[in-house]
Amino acid sequence: MNTIQVNLEERSYPIHVESGLLNHVPSILSDNNEGQKWIVISQYRLMELFGFDLVNNLKASGFDCEFITLPIGEAAKSLNEFSRVISQMVEFSCDRKTNILALGGGVVGDVAGFLSSTFMRGIDYYQIPTTLLAMVDSSIGGKTGINIAEGKNLVGSIYQPQGVIVDPDILQTLPQEEVFSGLGEVIKYGAIWNKAFLIDISTWLENIDSFPFEDAIRKSCKIKAEVVSKDEREGDLRRILNFGHTIGHALESHLGYGKIRHGEAVALGMKCAGFISQKLNLLSKEELSTLSQTINQLPLPQLSHINGNHLMPFIKTDKKSEKGVLNFVLLDGLGNALSSTDVTEELIQESLKALN
For 260, other C-beta atoms within 10 Å of its C-beta total 20
| From 16, 37, 77, 143, the catalytic residue | 143
Binding ligand NAD (rule: CB under 6 A), the pick from 72, 155, 237, 255 is: 72
Q: How far is the CB of 20 from ligand NAD (least distance, A)?
A: 14
CA separation for the pair 302, 28 (Å, rounded): 44
Residue 91 contacts by C-beta under 8 Å, 6 or more apart in sequence? Answer: none
**Residues 29, 61: contact at Cβ < 8 Å?**
no
| From 262, 264, 271, 287, the catalytic residue | 262
Does the annotation mark 245 as catalytic? yes
Does the annotation mark 239 as catalytic? no
Stretch binding ligand NAD (CB under 6 A), from 73-81, 246-254, 273-281, 297-305: 73-81
User: Is 248 an interacting residue with respect to ligand NAD (CB under 6 A)?
Assistant: no
Does the annotation mark 242 as catalytic? yes
DSSP assignments along 188-222, one per residue: HHHHHH-HHHHHHHHHHGGGGGG--HHHHHHHHHH
Q: How far is the CB of 297 from ligand NAD (least distance, A)?
A: 19
Stretch binding ligand NAD (CB under 6 A), from 4-12, 23-31, 106-114, 208-216: 106-114
Nearest CA among 229, 164, 218 for reference residue 6: 229
Stretch binding ligand NAD (CB under 6 A), from 7-15, 53-61, 129-137, 202-210: 129-137
Residue with Cβ nearer ligand NAD (139 or 290): 139
DSSP assignments along 96-154, one per residue: TT-EEEEEESHHHHHHHHHHHHHGGG---EEEEE-SHHIIIIITSS-EEEEEETTEEEE
Strand partners, 13: 6
| From 222, 238, 254, 261, the catalytic residue | 238
| From 249, 254, 261, 271, the catalytic residue | 249
Torsion of CA 182, 224, 170, 153, to 10 degrees: -60
Binding ligand NAD (rule: CB under 6 A), the pick from 93, 173, 289, 344 is: 173
**Residues 300, 209: contact at Cβ < 8 Å?**
no
Q: Which of residues 314-333 bind ligand NAD (CB under 6 A)?
A: none
Binding ligand NAD (rule: CB under 6 A), the pick from 51, 104, 168, 248 is: 104
User: Is 6 an interacting residue with respect to ligand NAD (CB under 6 A)?
Assistant: no
Residue with Cβ nearer ligand NAD (173 or 341): 173
User: Is 46 an interacting residue with respect to ligand NAD (CB under 6 A)?
Assistant: yes
CA separation for the pair 252, 320 (Å, rounded): 15
Does the annotation mark 234 as catalytic? yes
| From 185, 232, 252, 264, the catalytic residue | 185
Q: Which of residues 256-285 bind ligand NAD (CB under 6 A)?
A: 262
Residue 100 contacts by C-beta under 8 Å, 6 or more apart in sequence? Answer: 38, 39, 40, 41, 112, 115, 116, 123, 124, 125, 126
Give SS3 for 293.
Answer: helix
CA separation for the pair 50, 165 (Å, rounded): 14
Give SS3 for 15.
Answer: strand
Does the annotation mark 238 as catalytic? yes
Binding residues (CB under 6 A) for ligand NAD: these are 43, 45-46, 49, 72-74, 77, 104-108, 110, 130-131, 133-134, 137-138, 141, 143, 153, 170, 173-174, 178, 262
Active-site positions read 121, 143, 185, 224, 234, 238, 242, 245, 249, 262
